[in-house]
Structure 1
Amino acid sequence: MTPADSTMHTPLLTVRGLARTIGLRRLFAIDELVIPRATAIVLTGMNGAGKTTLLRMLAGLEPAPGAIAQWTDAQGNPHSAPLDPLPPALRQRIAYLHQHPYLFRTSVRENIAYGLHARGMPRDEIARRVGDALGWAGVSHVQDTAPEFLSGGEIQRVALARAKVLEPELLLLDEPTSSLDGHAREQVIALIGDLAAEGRTVVLICHDRELINLPGVVRWKLGDGVLDQHHP
């Protein structure tokens, strides 16, 4: 068995000791959170349960004092480090999409290319990846358009393309269809299905029954300070 083969049988990421307290209230305390590979996970729970906070902690956008992350690299070597601050090796593998994505005041094409430029990628490779992402998201026709002229559905698809182009192993999506309806919602649901089918792990906060009921989707539920990772 090659290192890549053995890696596929290990979790993508394990986090221990993940907890958040607000004032005197313990929002949640998760002894062990195991994120599998190549899995679509829907995170549900009541408003105020801490779902967005949990995703932002995993993405390194909120403090996670005391939490320990464990992962295996492409060569099959195990690693362990504090989650806070997010280790650079994990930062390259995780993408977070806010419920209301912010797009820079430039063209759609440049928005999608931004992260690749930041990584110092060669221009020809950037052009290839961005072209593929534009086609995948169905936004080639607005590639030279500024964000203020996009519809809500187009903004979500551009944001998904901007995340996908970085080729993350873990995508964290906060209510990606909450402000959409009709055809725009269906388009975004199809793109999320594509991401999962590619073998990426997708964890999304969602109350959309169509997304929750996609084939193979795993459901987690956060409530009363506890994360149920085996929710039916």
Structure 2
Amino acid sequence: MLIAHDLGTTGNKATLVSNDGKMLAAKTVNYGADWGTDGRAEQNPHDWWDAVCRASRELLAETNTAGTDIDGVSFSGQMMGVVPLDSHGEPVRPAIIWADTRSTKETNTLLERVSMEDCYRITGHRLNPTYSLTKLMWLRENEPDNFAKTATFCLAKDYTAFKLTGVLATDPSDASSTNAYDQASGDWAWEIIDAAGLPHSLFPKIVPSTHVIGTVTAEAARATGLAEGTPVVIGGGDGPVAALGAGV
């Protein structure tokens, strides 16, 4: 059996699925967000992790399933955000989620250095303040102390996969939502990142969506009810994964 978590904007929906693809049970754990009048949209990454832990435990309990019966765990999740992490992997501030539009000034600054046409050619997206890249620029300009503490960043599903395994990575689908991913090379778009003036070290490694990034740690096993050593697949962003599931 498999457990899949979908970290949405209003909650985490977890499903228990048989190995032949049948959904056996589902559980949704809700969490809140900070919606500000200035375009602010933030969430606490710890709330995501708590929702993953609670949903996992409840799925196992309500179906009388042992943690050792789970063959793997994977994720989809909200895209285009920024979870800034310090050198110990702890969030330095709340996550800036997809709906946050405070980086309009930074977007205009980047447009002076990279044309909209070049950005679209490289990333497949228009430059827009909802994407991760200019949110990192906003953090640098408006919260320099927090930016100085930031060793790397990730997206929602990447953070919870990291909490399960201790391994930090992202996949191409979520990387493509940052406005900093080169669709042709399959790597970060260093030309655009350099134009934004951001250090390369901020950007995590990119692995295939089907990649087993690690296994459930002893600490995560105690928190979730899963068995230590359970494989964890990185998964993908919610939009591309939904399209795949719909047969597109």
Q: Using structure 2 for the length normalisation, give the TM-score.
A: 0.28
Higher RCO (CA-CA < 8 Å; seq separation 6+): 1
